[in-house]
Amino acid sequence: MTVINPAEDAAKVMGVLEEGGIAIVPLDVAYAVFGGNGVAIKRIFEAKERSLTKPNGMMADFEIFSEVHIVDQRERDLVRAVTDDFGLPLSVVAPFRMDHPIFAECDEFTMERSTKLGTLDLLLNAGPLHREITKLSRQKMRPVLGSSANKSLTGSKYRLQDVDKEVRAAASIEVDYGLSRYANARGISSTIIDLKTFEVHRYGVCFEQISDILKRYFKIELPQPKTAAVA
């Protein structure tokens, strides 16, 4: 018996985003909230009480990553190794092609709130709904931009019912898949790595495995965490 339908849910979510709405969706790393235009993005920042200096992330598959991020073959290989060969979620930051067609319809506010110093954060391989949404994002050439579905600095939420009421009140659609795969007591979401400097922007889920893969297969030693961090 099939209990979830990611393809159908992704179509509903994209429909809402195309109309300028806000969607709360379940990802393997945590529940996340996405906005369809600058007005929606602004509402998300307000509901989360999120600093405007903290940029959004963007949903991506390997094809979007390869086309949008300006990186060398080694970086492409390591991202594929982590996300495809080992099946782990990963967020990566790098310079990007602002003239890529996927950003053609983005308003100025959306781009300002989703980039930092010419870089963009892409989240890859974050579960079945993530996969279907990124597929539609690529087909429609429409970016899916947002952040974790929680009040800022309170830690990620792994069940829909745990998402702060102010954030849920802003949403036009919610999808509930129960407990996120990588739920944890520390309230952390995806690991974020800078592909140019290999600085770790966030020590998130699966960091130990990701660090081991980069060291073992690519001779890259990531800096290790000093203290536990809150997403």
pLDDT at 212 over 60: yes
Tell me the per-residue pLDDT of 128-167, one tens digit each, with 9 for 90 and over. Answer: 999 999 999 999 999 999 999 999 989 999 999 999 999 9
Mean pLDDT of 188-200: 98
Res 214: pLDDT:
99
For residues 105 and 50, what is the distance between their CA atoms, to the nearest angstrom? 24
- Topology of domain 6-218 in CATH is DHBP synthase (3.90.870)
Res 86: pLDDT:
99
What is the SS3 assignment for 188-227? CCECEEECCCCCEEECCECHHHHHHHHHHHHCCCCCCCCC
pLDDT at 229 over 70: no
For residues 92 and 76, what is the distance between their CA atoms, to the nearest angstrom? 11
For residues 113 and 45, what is the distance between their CA atoms, to the nearest angstrom? 9
Q: How far apart, in Å, do the first and last CA atoms of the chain sit?
A: 35
pLDDT at 230 over 70: no
Q: Per DSSP, what are the bridge partners of residue 57?
A: 146
Tell me the per-residue pLDDT of 31-45, one tens digit each, with 9 for 90 and over. Answer: 999 999 999 999 999
Tell me the per-residue pLDDT of 66-101, one tens digit each, with 9 for 90 and over. Answer: 999 999 999 999 999 999 999 999 999 999 999 999
Res 223: pLDDT:
96
**Number of other residues whose CB lies within 10 A of the CB of residue 172:** 17
Q: What does the DSSP 8-state code read for residue 2?
A: -
Q: What does the DSSP 8-state code read for residue 96?
A: B
Confidence tier at 23 by pLDDT (50, 70, 90) = very high
Share of the chain above pLDDT 70, in %: 98
pLDDT at 227 over 70: no
CB-side exposure of 166: number of CA atoms within 13 Å? 11
* CA–CA distances in Å: residue 76 to residues 64, 117, 127, 231: 12, 21, 20, 26
Share of the chain above pLDDT 90, in %: 96
3-state helix, strand and coil shares in percent for the chain, rounded to the nearest 5: 40, 20, 45
**Domain boundaries along the sequence of the chain:** 6-218
